[in-house]
Structure 1
Amino acid sequence: MIIDIPDTTTSAVSKRLVMLREEGGVIALGRVLTLIIIAARGDEEEAIEAANDASREHPMRVIVISIADASSDGETRIDAQIRVGGDAGASEVIILRAFGEAADNKVSLVTALLLPDAPVVAWWPGETPDVVSASPIGQIAQRRITDASAHADPHEALRQLARSYRPGDTDFAWTRLTLWRAQLAAVLDQPPYETITSVRVTGAADSPSTTLLAAWLQLQLQVPVTCELTHDIGGVGGIHGVEMTRASGTFSLERPVSNIATLTIPGQPVQDIALPRRNLRDSLAEELRRLDPDVLYGDVIMRGLNALDSAESEPAEGAK
């Protein structure tokens, strides 16, 4: 069910939600959180679709603040849309399109619509404020989700996230590493238990996840890590592969196609492993499973990234 409410107020939207429940048109579910999505106008639908899918695991209220560019209509008003039932998964979706001065105070737009006594998660699918934790919406959220890959310069976006990091921040560039980190940890848990002496990580030039994977390995292994960013290989973006060298030889985990990786270990048969690129829904669902700060992400974005940059800037041994 989709209900359009033009030229309205957030108080009127809240009352309409109550009426929908009282009329029995909406099945009341236990909402576990409020998700606020701050998206550019015209880019909301992909984020809403991901939130709807994730809501089947995390029933929630989704509030979408649709941001217009500077050239849009200057008339002060709020157009709202409510989506429930089959059009909202296991959530309630409220889309707020604010115009003119009504768009200036984003907190006032959402205050009346927040679920009482429920955590607030904020998500910027596209461009983000310079300091997300200091932004008006960031200040009322327990978790703040960004996506460096959506920026024109993903690697500069990572550096900005590192400079402005506060507990509660996270980024999908990190979330997309979960399967890679699990697979690499599983290999290192198998014999031979030898010390890793060097690491090489490769990926697409526009892949911030490749840089974060190298930073994580730098932080965890404390060995030389080389991060090589190139063009897509065979149409496959993201992370291309990891090579780790130890006394018995070099083993590698390479992803030549988008969903299958090849694990090569000296003295063992080559293995094909399912390692798909994670979609928006899976990344969002994973981040919503935890509402406490991701301490490891904080360490990697602040300490690991700096260690990687410092190691790459050091001249090779014997160089002058």
Structure 2
Amino acid sequence: MIVDLPSSTTSAVNRKLVELREAGGVMALGRVLTLVIVTDDGGSAEQAIEAANAASREHPCRVLVIARGSRQAAARLDAQIRVGGDAGASEVVVLRGYGPLASEDAGAGMVVPLLLPDAPVVAWWPADAPAVPSDDPIGRLAQRRITDALSARNPTKAFEQRRSGHVAGDSDLTWTRLTHWRALLATALDNPPHEPVTGAVVAGEAVSPSTDLLAGWLAVRLGVKVKRSPSTAGGGGMSSVQLARRSGSIELLRPDGRTATLRQPGQPDRMIVLSRRGVPDCLAEELRRLDPDEIYGEALAGIGLVSRGRSPVNLVP
């Protein structure tokens, strides 16, 4: 069900939510959090809503979408309420502000009356985000702040802003996309022989925040020299990790962006499905924890310990 409320107010939206609940029982009250999505009006807003709907099946929540319209238009708030099949396991409220209502301060003011009482608040910027999310009016309302440097118009600049402006409670989907890589490497190191790693090489696209983060994570967690190199592979993103040990190296190679090969001394090669994770999957993982991700903060700091190599790594699966 979709209910449009053109030229509305947040009070009218709240009243309509109560009416829908009382009249049809279409919305359960067992919401675990409020997810605030900040984006521009248009196709990007719909893509973010689809991702939130998919994630809400694991984390029932109220989704508040701030879809900022033109700042040159007359002041107006167009609201839309989506429930039932149009909202996954959540209730979605889309707030399209125009003119002065498209500003950051106005967006926070519209969100406050619609927050679930006594429930955590998570803010998500699917594309471009503030330089320092914790200083943003909406960021100050949230316990967790999720960004995605790879989806920004300038990923390199956005990622540098994440590094310099990081505070506890911040996270980025470029980090979440690494979960399976980190799990595979940790599992490989748990198997015999239990020898210390003496060095590491991480390869990926020239512009790949995830590759930089994995190199920083290894530098901090293993306490060894890590080299970050470009890759000749055509799969995009992360391409390979090599962990050097006395008896031979552990290698995790993904030349095509879909299937990886894990090589360990004395063991047959293992083929592993390791395709790039989608936004709904990453968002659902981020919503599983509402406490600060300290390991992500360490990985960001660890990037400063990584050396960069100019010679590309040629992957031979």
Distance 1:239 1:69, change over 3 A: farther
User: SS in structure 2 opposite 1:23?
Assistant: helix
Distance 1:27 1:99, change over 3 A: closer
Distance 1:275 1:238, change over 3 A: same
Q: Which runs of structure 2 are paired with 1:274-289 in the superposition (5 Å)?
A: 274-289=273-288
Question: What residue is the counterpart of 2:9 in the other structure?
Answer: 9
Cα displacement (A) at 1:162 = 1.6
- The answer to whether the aligner puts 1:305 opposite 2:306 as a matched pair is no
Q: Which runs of structure 2 are paired with 1:217-232 in the superposition (5 Å)?
A: 217-230=218-231
Cα displacement (A) at 1:158 = 2.1
User: SS in structure 1 opposite 2:130?
Assistant: coil
Question: What residue is the counterpart of 2:86 in the other structure?
Answer: 87
On the 8 A contact 2:239/2:257 being kept in 1, the answer is no
Tell me how far apart the structure 1 counterparts of residues 177 and 47 of structure 2 sit (CA, whole Å): 18
User: SS in structure 1 opposite 2:299?
Assistant: helix
AA at the equivalent of 2:38: I
AA at the equivalent of 2:23: E
Cα displacement (A) at 1:99 = 0.5
Question: What residue is the counterpart of 2:54 in the other structure?
Answer: 53
Question: What residue is the counterpart of 2:242 in the other structure?
Answer: 243
AA at the equivalent of 1:77: R
Question: What residue is the counterpart of 1:166 in the other structure?
Answer: 167
- The answer to whether the aligner puts 1:76 opposite 2:75 as a matched pair is yes
User: Deviation string for 1:218-269 (max 9, x for gaps)?
Assistant: 11112111111346x33x2111111111111222101123332101122221
Structure 1 residues 269-278 or 77-86, which shifts more?
269-278
AA at the equivalent of 1:293: P
User: Deviation string for 1:114-144 (max 9, x for gaps)?
Assistant: 1011000000001111110000000010000
Question: What residue is the counterpart of 2:313 in the other structure?
Answer: none
Question: What residue is the counterpart of 1:318 in the other structure?
Answer: none
On the 8 A contact 2:248/2:265 being kept in 1, the answer is yes
User: SS in structure 2 opposite 1:14?
Assistant: helix
Question: What residue is the counterpart of 1:205 in the other structure?
Answer: 206
Tell me how far apart the structure 2 counterparts of residues 56 and 198 of structure 1 sit (CA, whole Å): 42
Tell me how far apart the structure 1 counterparts of residues 187 and 231 of structure 2 sit (CA, whole Å): 27
Question: What residue is the counterpart of 1:101 in the other structure?
Answer: 100
Question: What residue is the counterpart of 1:143 in the other structure?
Answer: 144
AA at the equivalent of 2:255: P
AA at the equivalent of 1:61: R
Question: What residue is the counterpart of 2:36 in the other structure?
Answer: 36
Structure 1: give runs of 5+ residues left out of the alignment.
314-320
AA at the equivalent of 1:283: C
Residue identity (%): 54
Tell me how far apart the structure 1 counterparts of residues 70 and 164 of structure 2 sit (CA, whole Å): 27
AA at the equivalent of 1:58: H
Structure 1 residues 31-40 or 249-258, which shifts more?
249-258
On the 8 A contact 1:40/1:126 being kept in 2, the answer is no
On the 8 A contact 2:70/2:102 being kept in 1, the answer is no
Q: Which runs of structure 2 are paired with 1:116-155 in the superposition (5 Å)?
A: 116-155=117-156
User: SS in structure 2 opposite 1:8?
Assistant: coil
User: SS in structure 1 opposite 2:46?
Assistant: helix
Cα displacement (A) at 1:111 = 1.1
Structure 1 residues 162-171 or 18-27, which shifts more?
18-27
Tell me the TM-score normalized by structure 2: 0.93
Structure 1 residues 263-272 or 92-101, which shifts more?
263-272
On the 8 A contact 2:39/2:127 being kept in 1, the answer is yes
Tell me how far apart the structure 2 counterparts of residues 32 and 229 of structure 1 sit (CA, whole Å): 42
Distance 1:102 1:151, change over 3 A: closer
Tell me how far apart the structure 1 counterparts of residues 236 and 223 of structure 2 sit (CA, whole Å): 27
Tell me how far apart the structure 1 counterparts of residues 53 and 93 of structure 2 sit (CA, whole Å): 12
On the 8 A contact 1:37/1:62 being kept in 2, the answer is yes
User: SS in structure 1 opposite 2:24?
Assistant: coil
On the 8 A contact 2:128/2:152 being kept in 1, the answer is yes
Tell me the TM-score normalized by structure 1: 0.92
Tell me how far apart the structure 1 counterparts of residues 153 and 45 of structure 2 sit (CA, whole Å): 19
User: SS in structure 2 opposite 1:194?
Assistant: coil
On the 8 A contact 1:243/1:252 being kept in 2, the answer is yes
On the 8 A contact 1:31/1:59 being kept in 2, the answer is yes
